[in-house]
Amino acid sequence: MASEEGQAANNVVVGIAVLAGIAAGDALCLVATGSRYPGTDHAEAARYLGTVNREHGKYLSTLVRLKPQAHYGAGFINEQERTSARRAAEALVEAAKLSTALG
């Protein structure tokens, strides 16, 4: 999907990155603390992850800020946002892989 171009493709790529980042953030919290943020507010989940690892919390915050545009069609994602989201998701997924048996 990362090779696709255009505004609609950006939304799809970022939408998938958001979901990957949320799942990775949950995994990182579970490994570090034995729990994850239990609610549905992803901004709060990012803050919770930030208590475990500040950098990871920032990555997740980047992703959840883009969630309305990517998932609900609130607007189109630009190339810079797409790149930022992909980097954030990749960092979170890699960190989760390294902190679990998947690494």
- Examine residue 80 and state whether it is found in any structural domain, yes or no: yes
Q: Reply yes or no on whether the pLDDT at 18 is more than 80.
A: yes
- Examine residue 2 and state whether it is found in any structural domain, yes or no: no
- Examine residue 47 and state whether it is found in any structural domain, yes or no: yes
- Examine residue 5 and state whether it is found in any structural domain, yes or no: no
Average pLDDT over residues 71-98: 94
> pLDDT category, 75, cuts 50, 70, 90?
confident
Q: What is the percent of the chain with per-residue pLDDT over 70, rounded to a whole number?
A: 93
The CA–CA distances, whole Å, from 99 to 3, 64, 82, 93 equal: 29, 22, 26, 10
- Examine residue 6 and state whether it is found in any structural domain, yes or no: no
Domain boundaries, position 20: 11-99
Cα 60 to Cα 58: distance, rounded to the nearest angstrom = 5
> What pLDDT, on a 0 to 100 scale, did the predictor assign at position 64?
97
CA atoms within 13 A on the CB side of 78: 1
Q: Which two tokens stand for residue 28?
A: 């990182």
Taking residue 76's Cβ as centre, other Cβ atoms within 10 Å add up to: 14
Number of domains in the chain: 1
Q: Reply yes or no on whether the pLDDT at 96 is more than 50.
A: yes
Contact 52, 29 (CB under 8 A): yes
- Examine residue 26 and state whether it is found in any structural domain, yes or no: yes
- Examine residue 21 and state whether it is found in any structural domain, yes or no: yes
- Examine residue 4 and state whether it is found in any structural domain, yes or no: no
